[in-house]
Chain A
Amino acid sequence: MIASLGLILFCQLVGEAIARSLALPVPGPVLGMALLFVVLVARDRARPWAPAFLTSGEVETTGKSLLAHLSLLFIPAGVGVVRNLDVLAANGVALAAALVVSTVLALLASVATFRLVSRLTGGG
């Protein structure tokens, strides 16, 4: 558990360092995600040499427990929104309409494109 947590934090740290130093438009933790993915795949290629915590399924368990309550993690930022709703006062109607319609359109466009290309490329 603690070694896995260390690995996850380390991946985030490396991700943040790369994102900041190269001024990349990708969040550090997303690069950390890519790095952890590479670590997991590399582990399978070199199982005999991998440390025990990597092969025992511990990283998977720790990762899943962090994700089990993903909604909880958005609450502090969400409360900030409730406390700052006055920034919406100036253009409230335009913004509300834009958010609702645009979210529906974005969902529609993405899902339709995904299904279309999936069928065209024989992915079912």
Chain B
Amino acid sequence: MASGDFALWVYLSRPPLLWLTVTVIVYAAVDAVSRALQRRPLTNPVLHSVWIIGVLLAATRTDYATYFEGAQFIHFLLGPATVALAVPLYENRDVVARALAPMMAALVVGSVVACGSAILIASWLGAPRGTLISLAPKSVTAGVAMAISEQLGGDPALTAVLVISTGILGAIIVTPMMNALGIRDFRARGFAVGLASHGIGTARAFQVDPVAGTFAGVAIGLNALLTSIVAPILISWIGR
């Protein structure tokens, strides 16, 4: 028979409430720290929330399926939030309309470099073809990246891991890198991080500047479209 304390624990640990609450509270705490430290790149809230929750799951021997029963309500909001990117796009529509030519050029070059350089490097280091395919769409938003990977014969689970890692990496690298290069054009900075690091890069861009966030949001959609065309071609050239 479950004694008092344990029965309460069993009741409360029934998903979805527990892990939904944990996710929101851990994020709120990490975000407050990140804000207090002037949003320094290494205080990235996704990075730190993810490992802290990972440790909590391991410590309580909770499997991911149980965690996701609670966290799915947050995960679901990714769709509506993507639609909501129309609001900053609308508010900055004149700036975006005037930057069509640089955006299209950066899209083509960036998309080929993001996909091609990853395949080349991993291929030089001896990764097998299946791994190269799974890696190719790593800069694309997760849903589309997994579909591209699956269609070409890759492993969608591996692709998901690589996509999220690329997002966090880009979100951390972009600000110090652009500052070091002396680039103050927030349209260009935002577009680059949205292209290279999809939504997680876009979240970072919005922390820095609303125009950067807007251009990052546009780049997510454009790069999803172009990579689905470019990736199969590059894989057939480089991927042996």
Contacts and interface: CB of A to CB of B under 8 A. Distances in A.
Contacts of A80: 64, 68, 160, 164
Contacts of A102: 113-114, 117-118, 121, 138
B157 A87 contact: yes
A106 to B, nearest CB: 4
A2 interface: no
A49 B219 CA distance: 33
Given A83-B54, A113-B109, A76 B71 contact: yes
A88 interface: yes
Interface residues of A, number: 76
Contacts of B193: 107
A87 B113 CA distance: 25
Interface in B169-213: 169-170, 173-174, 177-178, 181, 183, 185, 187-189, 191-193, 195-197, 199-200, 202-204, 206, 213
B77 interface: yes
A46 interface: no
Chain B, interface size category, equals: 35 or more
Interface of B: 23-24, 26-27, 31, 44-47, 49-51, 53-54, 57, 64, 67-68, 71-72, 74-75, 77-91, 93, 98-99, 101-103, 105-107, 109-110, 113-114, 117-119, 121-122, 125-128, 131, 135, 138-139, 141-144, 147-148, 155, 157-158, 160-162, 164-170, 173-174, 177-178, 181, 183, 185, 187-189, 191-193, 195-197, 199-200, 202-204, 206, 213, 217, 219-221, 224-225, 228-229
Interface of A: 5, 8-9, 11-12, 15-16, 25-30, 32-37, 40-41, 59-60, 62-64, 66-67, 69-85, 87-88, 90-91, 93-95, 97-111, 113-118, 121, 123-124
